[in-house]
Amino acid sequence: MEWCEFAGRVSIGRNGVVSPHAVIYGCGPGGVTIGERFDCGPGVGIFASRTEFDQMPRGRRFAPVVIGDDVVVFANAVVTPGVTIGNGATVAAGSVVLHDVPSWTLVAGSPARVVRRIAGR
């Protein structure tokens, strides 16, 4: 479609799990790239585009979402355009991720913030 510059893609690595009612929206340049062993809870939203309401009627933002290996995103969390989530990170249920998430950390809240480090491999 013209509004998304006729572009978009979603890529999920091996052994990933996407639960029911999750939305992975890869419209626009860049799309969504997800690593291996991804675990996605129900109701999660991952978006590579959004409408900029203050720039209507045609204001849209496109930015790729990159999610590393061994990432867990719990139920009803939202990941916004342009976010990178590092390997081994965990996103708590109901969180809204507006900024990059470092590897091997737990983030929670709206907006999501680092709660603690997770012991890596």
The count of other CB atoms within 10 Å of the CB of residue 96 is: 16
Q: What share of the chain is helix, strand, coil (3-state, %, to 5)?
A: 5, 40, 55
Q: What is the Cα–Cα distance from 9 to 36, expressed in whole angstroms?
A: 17
Domain boundaries, the chain: 2-117
pLDDT at 7 over 60: yes
Q: Rg for the chain (alpha carbons), in Å?
A: 14
List all residues 6 or more positions away from 6 whose beta carbon is below 8 Å from its beta carbon: none
Helix (H, G, I), strand (E, B) or coil at 2: helix
**Band (1; pLDDT cuts 50, 70, 90):** low
pLDDT digits (tens, 9 = 90+) for 84-98: 999 999 999 999 999
Q: How is domain 2-117 classified at the CATH fold level?
A: UDP N-Acetylglucosamine Acyltransferase; domain 1 (2.160.10)
pLDDT digits (tens, 9 = 90+) for 50-79: 666 666 666 677 889 999 999 999 999 999
pLDDT digits (tens, 9 = 90+) for 18-57: 999 999 998 877 899 999 999 999 999 999 986 666 666 6
Helix (H, G, I), strand (E, B) or coil at 117: strand
